[in-house]
């Protein structure tokens, strides 16, 4: 795949050393979602994959994958959540779109859902929509793709927008390198008794068995 300019710019702000090529079957993705996906997101999946940004934000895989204890299908789940939130918050009065045009690609620790607005036929023209938990507006559209949106976050380049900061919690520090950790690398670190986000020894490692990370759901059996 040809290098995407916004993903190349993102690499200078967030080194991809702990990323992993997801080797995604994009034809299968189109069969599942009924649409192609933006080129920057496809490039992101090849360079970074699905995982955590600075331990406080996450980017989803477009297809479900088997985790240690259950199937992770976060894109489908958060897309359903953002469409439900749209209806609960006033529907067209909150954001004058059809809810089926909201497609989630990530979340923040501040409980924001990061989405695309998929009204354009060309996925490369999909802007980002932030469904904010503690932002001034519940829904705000930003005229950037996913990779450029992240670059602008890391560089604090949202001057001129009425809402100011697009998200509910600051998970980056301007001028400081950001970190990305692929979900599989985070799992490997946890099983080794290391902090999943930093790779450093985890002072709380002995509090949980190695086959169960904090937040794991209990089986119904």
Q: For the domain that residue 51 is a member of, what is the CATH number? A: 3.40.1580.10
The predicted pLDDT at position 178 comes to 95
Per-residue confidence in pLDDT tens, the chain, 221 aa: 568 999 999 999 999 999 999 999 999 999 999 999 999 999 999 999 999 999 999 999 999 987 665 667 999 999 999 999 999 999 999 999 999 999 999 999 999 999 999 999 999 999 999 999 988 889 999 999 999 999 999 999 988 777 778 999 889 988 888 999 999 888 888 788 887 778 888 776 655 555 554 444 443 33
Does residue 199 lie within any of the structural domains?
no
Does residue 18 lie within any of the structural domains?
yes
Q: 80 by DSSP, 3-state: which? A: helix
The predicted pLDDT at position 176 comes to 87
The predicted pLDDT at position 211 comes to 54
Are the CB atoms for 182 and 50 separated by under 8 Å?
yes
Residue 131 φ then ψ, to 5°? -95, 95
The domain of 111 spans: 5-154
Are the CB atoms for 24 and 36 separated by under 8 Å?
no
Does residue 91 lie within any of the structural domains?
yes
The predicted pLDDT at position 149 comes to 97
Q: How many domains is the chain built from?
A: 1
Does residue 65 lie within any of the structural domains?
yes
Does residue 208 lie within any of the structural domains?
no
Does residue 177 lie within any of the structural domains?
no
The predicted pLDDT at position 217 comes to 40
Does residue 126 lie within any of the structural domains?
yes
Are the CB atoms for 179 and 54 separated by under 8 Å?
yes
Does residue 191 lie within any of the structural domains?
no
- Write down the residue that tokens 């004058």 correspond to: 96
Are the CB atoms for 82 and 66 separated by under 8 Å?
no
Q: Which residues contact 56 (CB under 8 A, 6 or more apart)?
A: 108, 109, 169, 171
The predicted pLDDT at position 69 comes to 59
The predicted pLDDT at position 71 comes to 65
**Residue closest to 104 by CA, chosen among 146, 139, 125, 76:** 76
């Amino acid at each position: 795949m040809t290098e995407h300019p916004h993903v190349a710019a993102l690499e200078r702000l967030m080194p991809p050393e702990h990323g992993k090529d997801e080797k995604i079957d994009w034809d299968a993705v189109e069969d599942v979602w009924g649409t192609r996906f933006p080129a920057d997101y496809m490039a992101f999946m090849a360079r970074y994959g699905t995982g955590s940004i600075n331990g406080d934000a996450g980017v989803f895989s477009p297809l479900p994958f088997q985790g240690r204890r259950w199937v992770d299908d976060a894109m489908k789940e958060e897309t359903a959540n953002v469409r439900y939130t749209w209806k609960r918050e006033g529907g067209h009065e909150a954001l004058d779109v059809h809810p089926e045009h909201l497609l989630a690609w990530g979340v923040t620790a501040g409980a924001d859902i990061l989405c695309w607005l998929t009204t354009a036929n060309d996925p490369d023209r999909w802007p980002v929509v932030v469904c904010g938990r503690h932002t001034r507006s519940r829904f705000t559209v930003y005229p950037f793709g996913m990779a450029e949106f992240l670059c602008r976050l890391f560089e604090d380049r949202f001057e001129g927008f009425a809402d100011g900061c697009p998200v509910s919690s600051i998970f980056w520090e301007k001028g400081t390198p950001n970190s990305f950790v692929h979900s599989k690398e985070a799992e490997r670190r946890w099983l080794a008794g290391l902090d999943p986000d930093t790779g450093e020894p985890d002072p709380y490692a002995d509090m949980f068995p190695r086959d169960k990370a904090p937040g794991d759901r209990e089986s119904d059996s």
